[in-house]
Amino acid sequence: MNTRIEACSEVEANSSYKNINKASFIENPKMKKEALFWKPMKNQIVQCFLCPHHCIIAPEKHGICGVRKNENGTLFSLIYQACSSIAIDPIEKKPLYHFYPGSRVLSLGSVGCTFRCDHCQNYQISMARPDGQTLRDIPAEQLSTIATEKGCAGVAWTYNEPTIWHEYTREAAKMVKEAGLYTVYVTNGYIEEEPLEEIAQYLDAMNIDVKAFHEEFYKKFCKAKLAPVLQTCERAKKLGVHLELTYLVIPGRNDTPSEIKEFCQWVGEKLGGDTPIHFSRFHPDYKMTDVPATPLSTLLACHTAAKDAGLQYVYLGNIGHGDYDNTYCPSCKSLLIERYGFSVDLKGLAQGACSRCGAAISICMK
């Protein structure tokens, strides 16, 4: 099967989608909803427990994510059904390589993030707050219709951090699943156990960014912690969510051979050697423009380290080199999936197994 997919195309608010209105948050009360996972404290102060920051928020102030606000002692989400971006993407762009390969996915983003990464590539929306933004009001019940009409097999919450969109995504994901479509999070993994368990009931796949394998990096460059991210990876796996990891390799920041080796060993031990891993090339961006792009030699060393650690499906992203985008049978080494950009050719797969040797391949597909 050869499935060509166009690069990201924006879904316009055209005549087919009259009910996708462009509106600012201030004018649209539907985008504000009482938050989940918070508790009142003294003097109208509240504490949020959605993510491991556990922000203590004074009246009229926001949490670190910028999208949860204490109004008169009640915590509100300011981004309920509020979309900054909506587009049709190939699922490979998330990246998810072992999940409905060749399918299109309706991709949605809002604003805000729990992290403050110096190297953020989506900082225009991740660092933005809802007020003052032009956001589209897209009710949860419309998503499956839009996705189906646009030829998408599922819906992904991506572009900014989806975990902070919990009140909307848990309702929307439930409806999307009921309509027979798949659901995806592309996330930094910063979410507490209870909300993760809640959303996981309706989530088919996650790509989690592991941004480094030492705490200092998370503290210095992301203003967060590594340990909760690793916990989320392990919990997601146990909850039965299809999991792939992305590790953006940044020269001089998170690329020592020992760090990469420890990361790969952890994946093998805690998540399993069949977990797909994407080592991705860094390009200077946002506040990290003083660091050069990742040399190909470093990425190749990451690939070797992962293979040495027994990881079966290792990919190199942003290098435009086909061999490291392809999927090979871990048993007989046959080419199973050939990828050119976002073109996908399922050459050697038959019903989830290698068509040459019959080995079962860890992949979700129809």
Query: Residue numbers of the site for ligand SF4 (CB under 6 A)?
Result: 48, 50-51, 53-55, 63-65, 68, 114, 164
* Shortest separation between residue 363's beta carbon and ligand SF4, angstroms: 33
Residue 137 Cβ vs ligand SF4, minimum distance, rounded to whole Å? 21
Q: How many CA atoms, within 13 angstroms, populate the side-chain half-sphere of residue 220?
A: 8
Q: Cβ 190 to ligand SF4, closest distance in Å?
A: 7
Residue with structure tokens 């946002």? 286
Q: Which two tokens stand for residue 110?
A: 């809002």
Q: Give the tokens for residue 77.
A: 């989400």
Q: Tokens 């996650």, residue? A: 206
Choice between 143 and 164, CB closer to ligand SF4: 164
Longest dimension (CA), the chain: 68
Q: Which is nearer to ligand SF4, 48 or 346 (CB)?
A: 48
- For ligand SF4, give the closer residue by CB, 68 or 303: 68
Closest contact distance (angstroms) between CB of 160 and ligand SF4 is 12
CA distances in angstroms from 1 to 97, 179, 348, listed in the order given: 15, 26, 10
Q: Which is nearer to ligand SF4, 65 or 233 (CB)?
A: 65
C-beta of 104: minimal distance to ligand SF4 in Å?
Answer: 30
> What minimum distance in Å lies between the beta carbon of 67 and ligand SF4?
7
Q: Which two tokens stand for residue 353?
A: 């197994």
Which residue lies nearer to ligand SF4 by CB, 54 or 287? 54
Structure tokens at 181: 């479509």
The two structure tokens encoding residue 296: 């190909």
**Residue 129, burial from CB neighbour count under 10 angstroms (0-12, 13-18, 19+):** middle
Name which of 68 and 339 has its Cβ closer to ligand SF4: 68
Closer residue to ligand SF4, CB minimum distance, 49 or 202:
49
Residues whose CB falls within 8 Å of the CB of residue 95, separated by 6 or more in sequence, listed in order: 207, 244, 246, 278, 315, 317
Instruction: Find the shortest distance in angstroms from Cβ 212 to ligand SF4.
Output: 20
Q: Provide the minimum distance between the beta carbon of 85 and ligand SF4 in the complex, in angstroms, as a whole number.
A: 20
Cβ proximity to ligand SF4, 164 vs 203, nearer residue: 164
Contacts of 46 (CB under 8 A, 6+ apart): 38, 39, 40, 56, 57, 70, 73, 74, 75
Separation CA 32–CA 78 (nearest Å): 5
CA 239/CA 235 separation, integer angstroms: 6
User: β-strand 2-3 against 343-345: which pairing, if any?
Assistant: antiparallel
